Amino acid sequence: MILLARPGEFPTIDQAAQRLRMSTRTLRRRLDAEGCSFKDLLAEVRCRMAREYLEETNLPVAEISWLLGYTEPGNFSHAFKRWCGVPPRAYRKQQAD
């Protein structure tokens, strides 16, 4: 929920730890015990949100990239291709077909 609180403005691990009332080191240890990292969680949240925006809205890719906290649409496109194997526009087209 902390990662979803403000679209386009994702907290750093330090901010998330502070909101959870624990040290950054403790948060890292707890995430490690679960087999993940803060970076992995952030990527998962962004990926899910990106797929949802692409499937359920007609927002331009540039707008979606901004909503996901990317400063450049190209950075979002590269990340999306890494997550899903296709660029955002191709994913949207596949979902529409």
> Which of 1-10, 43-52, 69-78 is predicted with the least confidence, judged by mean pLDDT?
1-10
Note the pLDDT of residue 68.
92
pTM: 0.82
* ∠ Cα 24 31 82 (to 5°): 105
pLDDT 10s digits, 21-63: 999 999 999 999 999 999 999 999 999 999 999 999 999 999 9
- On whether the CB atoms of residues 67 and 30 are closer than 8 A, the answer is no
Right CATH for 13-96 from 2.40.400.10, 1.10.340.70, 1.10.10.60, 3.40.50.261: 1.10.10.60
